[in-house]
Amino acid sequence: MNERRERRGDSLVASNRKARHDFEILEVIEAGIVLTGSEVKSARAGQVQLADGYARAVQGRMLLEAVHIAPYSFAHGVGSHDPVRPRVLLLHRQEIRRLSDRMARERLTLVPLEMAFRNGRVKVDLGLAKGRTKGDRRQAIAKRETELEMRRAKRREER
């Protein structure tokens, strides 16, 4: 993943590692996001928290809610912004309709996985996700550990 990001000239702003632990990610969608100037400056400084964020469809638009972008310290008065305001995501109308229908039908959630600058624009990777129970999380951890142990054993065997 990092290799691909470096090739395209991308720079990661924030990632939501907790989402991959708490949810089973079924599909990943890349979306643009509408930000003010001070929000872009804060994002470049890496002052973004995606941990509690989620996206929802409202009146034909997809909004990113509960994502905290810290106020830019050099923006005064008019230039500053509300850190947790809902932000509009840039997706095609058909894609918004498809995602909102699937979210309603299958009881899924749209969570932000990472935010990055790609070709000078801020992009958000959204994961269409299904919530995991405590038991599911434990099984996922156990599966990951067994796969890791198998890879280690294979490497030891090769030596």
CATH number at residue 11: 2.40.280.10
The sign of the torsion formed by the CA atoms of 99, 61, 118, 23 equals: negative
Work out how many domains the chain is built from and give that number: 1
pLDDT at 8: 55
pLDDT at 90: 98
Residue at 155 is within a domain: no
d(CA 36, CA 80): 9
d(CA 46, CA 132): 29
Residue at 140 is within a domain: no
Residue at 139 is within a domain: no
Residue at 99 is within a domain: yes
Residue at 146 is within a domain: no
d(CA 101, CA 7): 35
> Do 67 and 50 meet the contact criterion of CB atoms below 8 Å apart?
yes
Domain that holds residue 39: 2-132
pLDDT at 78: 62
Residue at 159 is within a domain: no
Residue at 152 is within a domain: no
Residue at 147 is within a domain: no
pLDDT in tens, the chain (159 residues): 455 555 456 899 999 999 988 999 999 999 999 999 899 999 999 999 999 999 999 999 999 999 999 998 887 766 578 899 999 999 999 999 999 999 999 999 999 999 999 999 999 999 999 988 888 889 888 999 999 999 999 999 988
